Amino acid sequence: MEYQIIDAFTNKLFSGNQAGVCLPNTQLPENIMQNIAAENNLSETAFLLKQNNGHYNLRWFTPTTEVDLCGHATLASAFVLFDEREKDACQLTFDTASGELTVIRDGNLLCLNFPASPPKECHTHPAIGKALGVEPIAVFKSIDLVVLVENEDTLRCITPDFSALRQIASDGGIYDDCLGIIATAPGNGCDFVSRYFAPGAGVPEDPVTGRAHCTLTPFWSKRLGKKVMDAQQISPRGGVLRCEDCGERIKISGKAVRYLKGVIEL
């Protein structure tokens, strides 16, 4: 089976977020896909299979579980298809657990069209500040938790207690349906910055998280009074995103580069 590793939300190797992209000829059993993702040990591995209607079925797996939405692995999948299999296409359509998703090619930028997930302010459990080592200004909830901190310097200095982060869902009660924790702040050289932690899903810190920006885009759009924003995820690898608030949908644009092409032997 053809396999590639793509660095997403970056224009240079060894930065952005690595995604594995698998291109099987037939549908693989779920346990095989999960084992491949665990063997790859990247934050996400995507599995693409073309359908009769021209769409692609797309599924995403962390090393420990399947997830219902992943931005960087969608960007990576689109990059592979536009570059090799759909060279004349300007748009791709993916059938996923989160419904129909599209990616448009605009030069060397790829634009993801995803559902918006605006957060609502919620109770701040004391365990959050303890786990992050910084007291939040406020906490919000959507598909992930959003922890607002004072500024970019504070965000960069966070050194999480990952064991404590894993306990927040069970201790907090109201957080038990959240996959991860987004810490965010106003940016120094961009509109906003973020970091993303999901130790319960086998991803202690994700380098660049597209799905988090389904929540961050409407959150910061409201706070800043802007529809189009530049964002950075300030993990050690780092990543750059252009975000647009379109109401019930958001657009997340970024670049990608190929790191590896190979074959998985099953």
- DSSP, collapsed to helix, strand or coil, labels residue 169 as helix
What is the pLDDT at residue 166?
82
Residue linked to tokens 């959240």? 178
Catalytic residues, which ones?
44
What is the pLDDT at residue 170?
54
Classify the C-alpha dihedral 207-211-214-215 as positive or negative.
negative
**Extents of the domains making up the chain:** 2-113+254-263, 120-247
The CATH-assigned architecture of domain 120-247 is Roll (3.10)
Pairing state between β 56-61 and 181-186: unpaired
Kindly report the average pLDDT of the chain as a whole number: 94
What is the pLDDT at residue 61?
97
pLDDT digits (tens, 9 = 90+) for 172-218: 455 667 888 999 999 999 999 999 999 888 889 999 999 999 999 99
| Common-topology check for domains 2-113+254-263 and 120-247 | yes
Share of the chain above pLDDT 70, in %: 97
Greatest distance between any 2 Cα atoms in the chain: 53
Query: Which contiguous run of DSSP H or E holds residue 72?
Result: helix 71-80
The CATH-assigned architecture of domain 2-113+254-263 is Roll (3.10)
CB 140 within 8 A of CB 182: no
pTM listed for this prediction: 0.93
pLDDT digits (tens, 9 = 90+) for 81-112: 999 999 999 999 999 999 999 999 998 899 99
